[in-house]
Structure 1
Amino acid sequence: MNRINEILEGCKQNNRQCQEELYRQIYPAMFALCKNFFDDNHDALTALNNGMLKVYKNVGLYDSAKGTFFNWSYTIVRNEALSLVRDKKQSTFVELQEDAVALPEGNPFKSLEWKDVYVYLGKLPPVTRAVCSLFYIEGFSIKETASSLSIKEGTVKWHLNECRTRLKRIFESSCQL
């Protein structure tokens, strides 16, 4: 039995040492995921911890035949982060007609290193960053992104255009330095 399976068995039995070891192993990746959705480290950590509580609570439901444990826990933590984004959502969204904004072309992150992607994402407003992360990084469709964040598709398109506009300014200003 490999170490991750031993840890998971311990987690199923509520072994605190196994839970801590699991947390320490997946913390860096899960925290980076949560930072995609929040400016504040506290909010990112809240989403991560809420997600990990769900992981611990439901670890008995994990089925290795359906995929890796990392992907299973990643999905739980991502969904928990999205729930927190929805809960914190301010009612200041710009609602647009469905066809008022054209779908942005190209992925502004395509040519960047992963570490740079997170730096540039951190410079965007929280909702725009969340939309950008779901669409460009997680590969969600516009409809899935809208559904996940409980906003309209036109609003998603607006945030994608806003993302591209802001990133263009950021890229241009960093090239001039």
Structure 2
Amino acid sequence: MQEQPDGLIAELQAKNPKAFERIYERYSESTFGVIYSVVRDQHIAEEVLQDVFLKIWEKAESYNSSKGRFFTWVLNIARNAAIDKTRSKAYKNKKKNLTAEYFVDILEEKTNISSKVDAIGIKKYIEALKPYCKKIIDLLYFKGFTQSEASEELDMPLGTIKTRNRNCINKLREILTE
């Protein structure tokens, strides 16, 4: 994904509706992919996507290019909103009566994160990582697990999860800057 020129971001921060439309056109598909990979429901993902872009509009002035790329900022908002949604009481109640299809999808994707990473355009970078990195990144960033939950799921000490997560993200950064 190509980074936005500073001018477009400045226009967004100045509350220019045309800049917001261009940002939405550029990022909505990838953002939806991240949200959907966490909530696994089309309708809920669309609802969260609306909330995310509302937050982007309202909080645009808080973006600081010295802290990271705009796209990363957008994806962090999306990921956090999706995780918050899955932790809400309404979401949990809705998921109590899931169909068998939902569980089949989960089982099929449990070891394959390629459909998710392809949605945000980083598949080739994730594929270059070690298998344990793929598992940790899948749980923490695509499935919305906390580090404690990932520790239980992978039967690893919490400290190991934290260290490996940090190392895997650093390796991913190295790959991205090559």
TM-score category of the 2 structures, normalised to the smaller one = 0.5 to 0.7
Distance of aligned partners of 1:69 and 1:116 in 2 relative to their CA distance in 1, 3 Å threshold: closer
Cα deviations by residue, 1:62-102 (Å, 9 ceiling, x for unpaired): 1111110000111011101111111112396xxxxxxxxxx
Distance of aligned partners of 1:156 and 1:45 in 2 relative to their CA distance in 1, 3 Å threshold: farther
Aligned counterparts of 1:154 and 1:60: Cα–Cα separation in 2:
33
Q: CA shift at 1:57, angstroms?
A: 1.2
Distance of aligned partners of 1:16 and 1:31 in 2 relative to their CA distance in 1, 3 Å threshold: same
Cα deviations by residue, 1:130-168 (Å, 9 ceiling, x for unpaired): xxx99442646xxx8247xxxx8499629xxxxxxxxxx
> Which amino acid in 2 is paired with 1:32?
G
Q: Hey, what does 2:83 align to over in structure 1?
A: 82
Distance of aligned partners of 1:4 and 1:89 in 2 relative to their CA distance in 1, 3 Å threshold: farther
Structure possessing the higher radius of gyration over alpha carbons: 1
Q: Hey, what does 1:102 align to over in structure 2?
A: none
Asked if residue 157 in structure 1 is aligned to residue 153 in structure 2, the reply is yes
Percent identical = 21
Q: Hey, what does 2:38 align to over in structure 1?
A: 37
Cα deviations by residue, 1:92-144 (Å, 9 ceiling, x for unpaired): 6xxxxxxxxxxxxxx822xx7446987xxxxxxxxxxxxxx99442646xxx8
For structure 1, the 5+ residue unaligned runs are: 93-106, 119-132, 159-177
Q: Hey, what does 1:53 align to over in structure 2?
A: 54
Q: Hey, what does 2:70 align to over in structure 1?
A: 69
Aligned counterparts of 2:117 and 2:81: Cα–Cα separation in 1:
25
Distance of aligned partners of 1:134 and 1:35 in 2 relative to their CA distance in 1, 3 Å threshold: farther
Q: Hey, what does 1:145 align to over in structure 2?
A: 145
> Which amino acid in 2 is paired with 1:6?
G
Q: CA shift at 1:19, angstroms?
A: 0.4
Q: What secondary structure sits across from 2:55 in the alignment? A: helix
Cα deviations by residue, 1:44-74 (Å, 9 ceiling, x for unpaired): 0111111111111111111111110000111
Q: What secondary structure sits across from 2:39 in the alignment? A: coil
Residue-pair matches, total: 120
> Which amino acid in 2 is paired with 1:108?
T
Cα deviations by residue, 1:9-28 (Å, 9 ceiling, x for unpaired): 11112111110100010011
C-alpha RMSD over aligned residues: 3.6
- Whether the 8 Å contact between 1:135 and 1:145 is mirrored in structure 2 is no
TM superposition score normalised by structure 1: 0.55
Asked if residue 14 in structure 1 is aligned to residue 15 in structure 2, the reply is yes
For structure 2, the 5+ residue unaligned runs are: 97-109, 120-133, 155-178
